Amino acid sequence: MRDDYDFYPAAFTVTTGRVRLSLISEAKQLTHNFRFTPDAGPAEIVEEIPIVAPGDRDTIEFAVDQPGDHQYECSFHVALGQIGMMTVVPA
């Protein structure tokens, strides 16, 4: 993430099973977070990164069993379009 309202990449694909996701902030000013949009995927993913200050990083791990699209967002900036998509395909 940077000092704009985009994720880099804005979309990525994983296979079913265990996922390790790292969030790295290249921002100089803006604080962000990362969560899967509630009720926007085939199954809820409750793990989130509650806050990432400029220059920080954090990692979460979780399991996904159902293929499909899972929207994610920065809830601080979702109204400004900071959303992305994780696609899960069968292993």
The pLDDT, as a whole number, for residue 73 is: 97
Which superfamily does 11-89 belong to?
Answer: Cupredoxins -  blue copper proteins (2.60.40.420)
Length of the chain: 91
Q: What is the average pLDDT score of the chain?
A: 96
pLDDT at 1: 85
**Extended strands (E) in the chain:** 11-15, 17-24, 32-36, 48-52, 57-64, 68-73, 83-89
Query: Cα 10 from chain centroid?
Result: 9
Q: Is the pTM for the entire model greater than 0.85?
A: yes
* Closest to 31 (Cα-Cα) out of 50, 9, 11, 45: 50
- Determine the Cα–Cα distance for residues 16 and 47; give it in Å rounded to an integer: 16
- Reported as a single tens digit per residue, the pLDDT across 14-58 is 999 999 999 999 999 999 999 999 999 999 999 999 999 999 999
For the chain, which residues make up each domain, given as ranges? Answer: 11-89
Whether residue 3 is predicted with pLDDT greater than 90 in this model: the reply is no
Mean pLDDT of 3-13: 94
